[in-house]
Structure 1
Amino acid sequence: MNEAKLFEIIRAPHISEKGTRVAEKHRQIVFKVALDASKDEIRAAVEHAFSVKVQAVRTLRVKGKPKRQGHRKDWKKSYVTLAPGHDIDFTGVA
């Protein structure tokens, strides 16, 4: 897989209360990913972008909410479990 495709798979980290809780307890990081991304592609993208070892990947599709002026788009969420000894720090604080 080419490098450009790997960087298109991961859209953003999904920061929430639940995401913070699973990060502390289970070494899992939550990402918003492309709708057509497979688990193997997500694993390769995270390992390449952050130089970590991924132990497992779980995915789910989140349905967009209906709003007054239309409808939000569906999106895909990925729970990435990191191998022991690996960590990703998004805060940038040393």
Structure 2
Amino acid sequence: MANPLLCPLLTEKSTGLTEKKGQYVLVVRPDADKLTIKDAIEKKFGVSVTSVRTINYLGKLRAQNTRRGRIIGKKSDWKKAIVTLAEGQSIDYYSGTAQKSEG
């Protein structure tokens, strides 16, 4: 299987989870399971993952009116993973490395 990690999901809520609870929110492949996500994060960032929660989202239906009538399409389904790291560890999305706080 290809790398299940697609990109970080940076919103106000996900940033709050990162600052308060040490949880990181990522967009992952829809066919990825929790163990695959955990292994990929531990391998890529060199951190220890304590838990992974996943949420599946169904793509929305979209309609477009044209001269010939109405065209109905669908956006892609996607999956979100909320990953909790061990105490004192963090991930820097921009450099692709992990940081361990001393203390």
- TM-score, normalisation: structure 1: 0.84
Greater strand content: 2
SS of aligned partner of 1:73: coil
Asked if residue 71 in structure 1 is aligned to residue 74 in structure 2, the reply is yes
**How many residues are paired up?**
87
Equivalent residue for 1:51, pick from 46, 51, 59:
46
The share of aligned pairs that are identical, in percent, is 41
Counterpart residue number, 2:87: 84
Q: Which amino acid aligns with 2:77?
A: D
Letter in structure 2 aligned against 1:66: L
- Structure 1 or 2, whichever has the larger Rg, is 2
- TM-score, with structure 2 as normaliser: 0.78
Counterpart-to-counterpart distance in 2, 1:23 and 1:81: 9
**What 5-or-longer segments of structure 2 have no aligned partner?**
65-72, 96-103
Given residue 60 of structure 1, which amino acid in structure 2 is its aligned partner? I
Tell me which stretches of 4 or more aligned residues in structure 1 moved more than 2 Å: none
Aligned to 1:19: 14
- Unpaired runs of 5+ residues, structure 1, are none
Q: Displacement of 1:68 after TM fit?
A: 2.2
For each residue in 1:3-51, what CA deviation from the matched residue of structure 2 results, as whole angstroms up to 9, or x when unmatched? Answer: xx4x621011111111111111110111111111111110000000111
Instruction: Let me know the Cα RMSD of the aligned residues.
Output: 1.3
**Aligned-residue offset at 1:52:** 0.7
Shift of 1:60: 0.7
